[in-house]
Amino acid sequence: MNWEANVRKVVPYTPGEQPFLRDMIKLNTNECPYPPSERVQRVLREFDASDLRLYPDPGALGLTEALAAHFGLKREQVFVGVGSDEVLALSFLAFFSGGKPVLFPDITYSFYEVWAQLYGIPYRCPALDEGFRLKKEDYLTENGGIVFPNPNAPTGLVESLETVEEIVAGNPDSVVIVDEAYADFCGISAMGLVDRYENLLVVQTFSKSRALAGLRIGFAAGSPKLIRYLNDVKFSFNSYTMNRLTIACGKACLEDEDWFLKTVGKIVSTRERMKAELKSLGFSFPDSGANFLFVRHESVPARQLFSALREAGIFVRHFDRPRIDDYLRISVGTDEEADRLTAFLNGYLKKS
Ligand code: PMP
């Protein structure tokens, strides 16, 4: 009767909604607004389904090696997983078991807190400053590990590589995880530091800049020792996390650098246009280096705008959390989506 006493009770992460409405504008989960590379589409068309009777390669070698070559690393320095969420979840399990509090900012990717609670990892969340900047001194105190996104989410703000390196260098006794889900949109990455710091793990994803959110591919780069520990945890959990089709698509995607540069370029240019247009409509925001803007209006509350946009079929994200409940996070879409967003806001704000 009292089986519930033995249940692990957790407060799960709430992902953004995934509505399926004709003609909606979906700017709520930072997906890529463009289709994936033609090379990925070809792999999907030509994939031989009879191969699916066999298990995939447990090390996802095809993709791991392609990533290593792409970033100029050794195969032993790369780990792949089912989205960066899985890579991060396994990393928390592998690297944050010391008993001292793990540090991440008060305003950040809210999944960090969920994993910490799931695993019973103590944590502390130093407050970002009033401009939503990370205060690096907060990360140069005793801790059991550090994780932060760069650019940060949902603010979009980018910390300099010098700041990141100071935090990594100042914490030789902890693993520092830099979550670079959005780094391709600002061109600042700590990937080049992994050869120099044994305690640095850089995590990236194919979900945003590579238009493959639906396939689920994330990866981490670090020292061979760090990757070995991460693999030990993964192989204690599920040997075959990456399926055959996904491995093949991920590899094909990585080979199409032209598509990648063109796609990221278009998103960055739409982002800069959106910044100018939203500013002229009375919005302010931290200067985003990501594929989303984190905006607040001078007179209309975020909650009200969120509902009005939703009713018009425009989905954005609102976080009901302290310090940020008057902000909306709006993903950068196509130019046409951006035009429809600003046209709607223009009309709505005139009436309010
Ligand atoms: N890190 C951050 C900061 C994110 O915003 C996201 C996307 N929700 C992720 C990691 C996870 O992305 P994915 O699992 O699709 O790679």
pLDDT tens for the chain, residues 1 to 352: 899 999 999 999 998 889 888 889 999 999 999 999 999 999 999 999 999 999 999 999 999 999 999 999 999 999 999 999 999 999 999 999 999 999 999 999 999 999 999 999 999 999 999 999 999 999 999 999 999 999 999 999 999 999 999 999 999 999 999 999 999 999 999 999 999 999 999 999 999 999 999 999 999 999 999 999 999 999 999 999 999 999 999 999 999 999 999 999 999 999 999 999 999 999 999 999 999 999 999 999 999 999 999 999 999 999 999 999 999 999 999 999 999 999 999 999 998 8
State which amino acid sits at residue 154: P
In order of 29, 80, 109, 155, 256, the CA distances from 214 in angstroms are: 12, 16, 20, 24, 18
Rounded to the nearest 5 degrees, what angle is found at the Cα of 37, between the Cα atoms of 31 and 41? 105
Q: Of the residues 179, 184, 292, which should be mutated to test ligand 1's pocket, given the most ligand atoms within 8 Å of the CB? A: 179
- Looking at the whole model, is its pTM more than 0.75? yes
- Separation of CA 87 and ligand 1 centre (Å): 10
CA distance 312 to 218: 33
**What pLDDT does residue 253 have?**
98
CA distance 346 to 322: 28
Pick from 173, 172, 163, 111: nearest CA to 138: 163
Q: Determine the straight-line distance between the first and last CA of the chain, rounded to whole angstroms.
A: 56
**What pLDDT does residue 24 have?**
92
Query: What are the backbone dihedrals phi and psi of residue 88, each rounded to the nearest 5 degrees, phi first?
Result: -70, -40
Atom 1 of ligand 1, nearest CA residue: 181
For residue 218 and ligand 1, the question of a CB distance below 6 A is answered with yes
Q: Specify whether the CB–CB gap between 149 and 180 falls below 8 A.
A: yes
Using DSSP, state whether 212 is helix, strand or coil.
coil
Atom of ligand 1 nearest to the CA of 207: 15
Q: Of the residues 109, 115, 246, 331, which should be mutated to test ligand 1's pocket, given the most ligand atoms within 8 Å of the CB? A: 109
**What pLDDT does residue 246 have?**
98
- Separation of CA 181 and ligand 1 centre (Å): 6
Element (H, E) at 221: strand 218-221
Atom of ligand 1 nearest to the CA of 29: 8
- Separation of CA 86 and ligand 1 centre (Å): 9
Atom of ligand 1 nearest to the CA of 208: 15
In order of 195, 227, 256, 301, 346, the CA distances from 74 in angstroms are: 10, 11, 21, 50, 51
CA distance 62 to 57: 8
For residue 178 and ligand 1, the question of a CB distance below 6 A is answered with no
In order of 29, 56, 285, the CA distances from 131 in angstroms are: 23, 46, 10
b (16+ CB within 10 A) / e for 210-227: bbbbebbbbbbbbbeebb
The count of other CB atoms within 10 Å of the CB of residue 350 is 8
For residue 155 and ligand 1, the question of a CB distance below 6 A is answered with no
